[in-house]
Amino acid sequence: MSAEINTGEKSFFVLEKPELSVGAIATGSPNYVDGVLVLSEAPLSKRRTDKFNWLVCPHLSEPQLVYDYYMASGLITIVLGKCFCDSCLDLVHMKGDLAEFLSLSRPMTDTSFQENFINPLLDSNYNFSKILGYIEAHDYAPKTWISCPHLKTTDSLKEVYSKGKQLFIFESFFTCQDCFNKIPTNSLVDIIYEGESMTDSLFQQRIIDSLIPINHDSLTAIGQCQHHADTI
């Protein structure tokens, strides 16, 4: 799995060619947008646009693909508007550019991202948790997600995401890059102990409903957001 990125210079997650700036292009350098980012004061949960703020790899571009991949314990990576399966992220790191990813990925608006990516992800994670016995038959509001301590609030999520760090989703866990990189030496127990367990509803409200406008504002701040009319 390709979790590490070059923090010493602007990474290949930034595209310099304007003709390739379709959708969401990001930076892998953690401090690239420091001093640039100015987030909107509008309530996060109420702001969605019809801009193509998301690029989703071909293996996660349809609801059934998301569902099946996640049920098979697949690792999903999100970095400033781009969503990768493990194979596509490895390919980008191997080639050192986004050309092939851009040619094959599916651009999505905030609404289509919710419908075609997030909703099947929530369904798959719920059933994944049920199969593993994490959900009791009498539990009507099971806590099916565990967020690492650096992503469990809107402010902390904003701080991590706007700096171009990768977010990882796998087997009911939602972690930042730093926590993910520590898993081999520490353990998931540390994330469970220091993070926060969430129901699907809380995960949607606190994480997803915050992430969508944070993503838009982050891309706008670095000039990498398509210009279409806002729906809101």
The per-residue pLDDT for range 66-98, each reduced to its tens digit, is 999 999 999 999 998 999 999 999 999 888 888
SS3 143: strand
Q: Give residue 95's pLDDT.
A: 86
Domain annotation covers residue 11: no
pLDDT mean over 192-202: 86
Per the structure, how many domains does the chain have? 1
d(CA 162, CA 86): 22
- The residue segments making up the domain with residue 142 are 18-221
Domain annotation covers residue 232: no
d(CA 175, CA 150): 8
Domain annotation covers residue 10: no
| Token output for 134 | 């994490």
User: The whole model's pTM is what?
Assistant: 0.77
Q: Has residue 205 got a pLDDT over 60?
A: yes
Domain annotation covers residue 5: no
Q: Give residue 96's pLDDT.
A: 85
Question: Which residues in 25-118 belong to E strands, given as ranges?
Answer: 54-56, 76-79, 82-84, 106-108
pLDDT mean over 109-123: 96
Domain annotation covers residue 54: yes
Domain annotation covers residue 160: yes
Q: Band of the pLDDT at 128, cuts 50, 70, 90?
A: confident
Domain annotation covers residue 97: yes
Q: Give residue 184's pLDDT.
A: 64
What is the percent of the chain where pLDDT is above 70?
69
Q: Band of the pLDDT at 143, cuts 50, 70, 90?
A: confident
Q: Give residue 121's pLDDT.
A: 97
Domain annotation covers residue 83: yes
Radius of gyration of the chain (CA): 17
Q: Has residue 19 got a pLDDT over 60?
A: no
